[in-house]
Amino acid sequence: MQDDPVIRVVSKVMIPTVMLFALYVQFHGDYGPGGGFQAGVIFASAFVLNAMIFGLNRGRHVWPANLNLLAICAGVLLYGLTGIASLFLGANYLDYDVLGATAKSGQHIGILLVEFGVGLTVASVMVALFFTFAGRLTHIRLMSKMQAHEEASPPASKTKTKAKKAGGRS
Amino acid sequence: MSALEITQLIGIASLLIGSLAVIFGALGLLRLGDVYQRMHGAGIVDTGGAGLILFGLLMLSPDWTVTVRLILIGFILVMTGPTATHAIARAVRVSDQEPDNVSETKTKKRGRG
Amino acid sequence: MSGFLVNASLISLLTLIAILALRLHRLFAVVMLSGAFSLVAATLFVVLDAVDVAFTEAAVGAGISSILALATLSLVPAEEKPHSIAFVPAFLALATALMLAVAVTDLPAFGDVNAPIHNHVAPEFIKGSAEDIGIPNVVTSVLASYRGYDTLGETVVIFTAAIAVLLVLGGYTRPHRRKIKSRKKGEDKNAG
Amino acid sequence: MSSLAGQWNYFLVIALMMIGFYAVIARGNMVKKMVGLTIFQTSVFMLYISMGKVSNGTAPILTGDPQTLYANPLPHVLILTAIVVGVATTAVGYALIIRVYESYGTIEDDELIKMIEAEDAEDSEDMNGETQSA
């Protein structure tokens, strides 16, 4: 769809708006409806929109897979480590009272951290799910190419793949 | 009649007209023939229905924070609604679905007459 | 009474969508109907005063869930084999409905202020959210603080589901391309 | 009978739930099963949220007025997390459907069962042949 000017222009306006809205939902969750789960899904939808309009490959460049896997783990770890931090400060696991100067500010810091962890996990999980489902066809093609490469005799296959690669790049 | 009452009246009237527009748009979506025709029904819901309902809510809004939010919602609707309709039309065109030849037969008849 | 009218019309709309989704054989239409179902369900949640849940349902059910289903349909056939009404499952569903209906008569009335669910821990949460935590949105304070363990578990479930999908479908990080390259290098060495 | 009149919402939700249940157990197509499961799931959510509703109450966001009645926040929290977990587990289901289609070429229940039975029969024949030859 990247050759369609209407969709391209509107998406360039809408994607930052969607991300801004996700951040609003994430950090306004204490005062209105919202929180990490909703914000994560909305944030992921911005990446999904980007990938749907500009193609999967460019979508992957915006948010690389390795970074995304790290983000999935980092979100869960942030949640768990918040609990461990309160454990080290002498309270129970996930008891945020001790994180700040007063109990109330401690609760605020704890909830902010935990919600951020949830948002990070949910957003990157949704992006990963979308790219896995949408990239399945390319994955199968690559796998079959690899199989053909393995089955053919080494010198013949080498020239073949080289030719293919050159053709694909040009 | 004070200015406040007049704005309220305008708001309620545009809410009612907006709801009617939504209902007619839905009817069109159900009753019209092919995809291209049905999109006209969807267009009424997108612009006429949602726009008039938003305008009515703006007239009735009690607070400036609500007004700001409604204007933002209106901005997003104006951006996304027509684009979505455009994307659907494009998808139908790309998938090689020809429109029902209603207009073509009519012009042929006219040419004969 | 007006509450009854709004709820009943919304739920009958949901029932209509569900029956339509059951009867159609084109799976693309079925998936779009399930998105519409989620959207109407979100409206119902707003009517039932659950704004956070409505927000989540609208974002997840109508957004991401439909996209995942459509991505699945691009890989599997999008047409269902026609089926006639299966009588044994229909009978089972009816029997279950009857049993549930009998069980539901034991529940307190809908919207009753004195129901046991409203008198056990909920008042403490609502009071404590203002006094101990200082956050107006009670749902957030219960989610992140009072029931923090629960949410930790749910986050881990999402994490595990993502890992499961990545393992089953594969190809997200593309390690095999690197493998091909390294193999080729090895072959070059062998040839040289 | 007065109690019956007070529980209309639950009855409506149960009707909805049974449509999803029927779709799960009666339909052979796996994608249809997943959609039925989603309907079933959403109606369970509705049952929970209905229990948290308080007549004349508002959403559980504190207004500062001590007279306000709030809906019960506990079911909201449970369902909020359940929705996101639900979509993650649904994704696992779809991933498995894709793999099933890639290995068997069908996502219809009855055809799958036939193919698996045929495979089993072949396997047992092979086993018999091997034992006889041995």
Give me the residue from C139, C156, C165 closest to A132, CB to CB. C165
d(CA D101, CA C27): 15
- Residue in B with minimal Cα distance to A2: B87
Q: Hey, is the C-beta of D96 within 8 angstroms of any chain A C-beta?
A: no
Q: Which two tokens stand for residue D32?
A: 């249809």
Residues of D in contact with A136 (CB under 8 A): 98
Question: Is residue C91 included in any domain, yes or no?
Answer: no
Strand partners, C79: C26
d(CA C1, CA C111): 12
Question: Is residue A152 included in any domain, yes or no?
Answer: no
Q: Which two tokens stand for residue C68?
A: 């995942």
Residue D102: count of CB within 10 angstroms of its CB: 13
B/e letters for B7-17, b = 16+ CB within 10 Å, e = fewer, are eeeebeebbeb
Range of the domain at B29: 3-112
d(CA C46, CA C55): 9
Range of the domain at A80: 5-135
Let me know if chains C and B touch, i.e. at least 3 Cβ pairs under 8 angstroms.
Answer: no
Range of the domain at C57: 1-81
Question: Is residue C97 included in any domain, yes or no?
Answer: no
d(CA B93, CA A157): 41
> What's the pLDDT at C132?
82
d(CA C183, CA C179): 6
Render pLDDT for C93-122 as a digit per residue (tens, 0 to 9). 999 999 998 988 888 888 888 888 888 888
Question: Is residue A154 included in any domain, yes or no?
Answer: no
Q: Hey, is the C-beta of B80 within 8 angstroms of any chain A C-beta?
A: yes
Q: Which residues contact A141 (CB under 8 A, 6 or more apart)?
A: none
Residues C105, C108, C112, C118, Cα dihedral to 10°: -150
φ, ψ of residue C76 in degrees (nearest 5): -120, 160
Question: Is residue A145 included in any domain, yes or no?
Answer: no
Cβ proximity of D25 and D46 under 8 Å: no
Q: A17 to chain D, minimum CA–CA distance in Å?
A: 23
Question: Is residue C54 included in any domain, yes or no?
Answer: yes
Contact A17 B76 (CB under 8 A): yes
Render pLDDT for D47-101 as a digit per residue (tens, 0 to 9). 999 888 888 888 888 887 888 888 889 999 999 989 999 999 999 999 999 999 9
Going residue by residue through chain A, which has 170 residues, state the pLDDT in tens, using 9 for 90 and above.
Answer: 667 888 888 888 899 999 999 999 999 888 888 888 999 999 999 999 999 888 888 888 888 888 899 999 999 999 999 999 999 988 888 888 888 888 888 888 889 999 999 999 999 999 999 999 988 888 888 888 888 888 875 554 444 444 444 444 33
Contact D88 A129 (CB under 8 A): yes
Residues of D in contact with C50 (CB under 8 A): 49, 52, 59, 71, 75-76, 79
Please tell me the total count of domains within chain C. 1
Q: Which of these, B41, B52, B51, lies nearest to B16 by C-alpha position? A: B52
Question: Is residue A73 included in any domain, yes or no?
Answer: yes
- Residue in C with minimal Cα distance to A165: C181
Q: Which residues contact A146 (CB under 8 A, 6 or more apart)?
A: C176, C179, C180
Question: Is residue A64 included in any domain, yes or no?
Answer: yes
| pLDDT band at residue D5 using 50, 70 and 90 as cut-offs | low
Angle made by CA atoms A54, B39, B100, in degrees to the nearest 5: 105
Residues of A in contact with C171 (CB under 8 A): 132, 135-136, 138-139, 142-143
Beta-carbon pairs below 8 A across chains A and D: 22
Q: Which two tokens stand for residue B17?
A: 């007209």
* DSSP symbols for B8-59: HHHHHHHHHHHHHHHHHHHHHHHHS-SHHHHHHHHHIIIIIIHHHHHHHHHH
